[in-house]
Amino acid sequence: DSGVTQTPKHLITATGQRVTLRCSPRSGDLSVYWYQQSLDQGLQFLIQYYNGEERAKGNILERFSAQQFPDLHSELNLSSLELGDSALYFCASSVGLVKNIQYFGAGTRLSVL
């Protein structure tokens, strides 16, 4: 158990809908990262937050947004969902900001029908 908790484990929704994925980092970790894992694109870094502030951005679509709350949990919001958004979404956390080991949650599997 990595100590990173993601909910829900599975999510099934329809095209055009909006969903929210939640992540609780390990106790004491200030950084949260979001990744998308799909069969054709592999594992893609989406975005990183550190202590409530956005710190690094990867291949995140404009339809996607994230935030980190004062209690350090994070949410990834996906809107106007398309079939191609079906993927595993992972959250990871680390203690600090730079070059820290990341601990991954078990992921949320999103299916867009």
Query: Which tokens belong to 24?
Result: 């609780």
Is 99 among the residues that bind other proteins (CB under 8 A)? yes
What residues from 11 to 30 belong to the interface with other proteins (CB under 8 A)? Answer: none
**Binds other proteins by CB under 8 A, chosen from 55, 61, 73, 95:** 55
Which two structure tokens, joined as six digits, stand for 91?
């959250």
Q: Could you tell me the smallest distance in angstroms from the CB atom of residue 52 to other proteins?
A: 16
Does 101 engage in binding with other proteins (CB under 8 A)? yes
Residue nearer to other proteins on the CB measure, 41 or 77: 41
Query: d(Cα 33, Cα 81) in Å, to the nearest integer?
Result: 21
| Contact predicate 90/35, CB 8 Å | yes
Is 61 or 79 the residue whose CB approaches other proteins more closely? 61
- The CA–CA distances, whole Å, from 5 to 2, 67, 75, 100 equal 8, 16, 12, 19
Residue 75 has a CB neighbour count (10 Å cut-off) of 16
Is 61 one of the binding residues for other proteins (CB under 8 A)? no
Distance of closest approach, residue 75 Cβ to other proteins, in angstroms: 18
Q: What stretches of 1-113 show up as alpha helix (H) in DSSP? A: none
Of positions 8, 16, 58, 84, contacts other proteins by CB under 8 A: 58
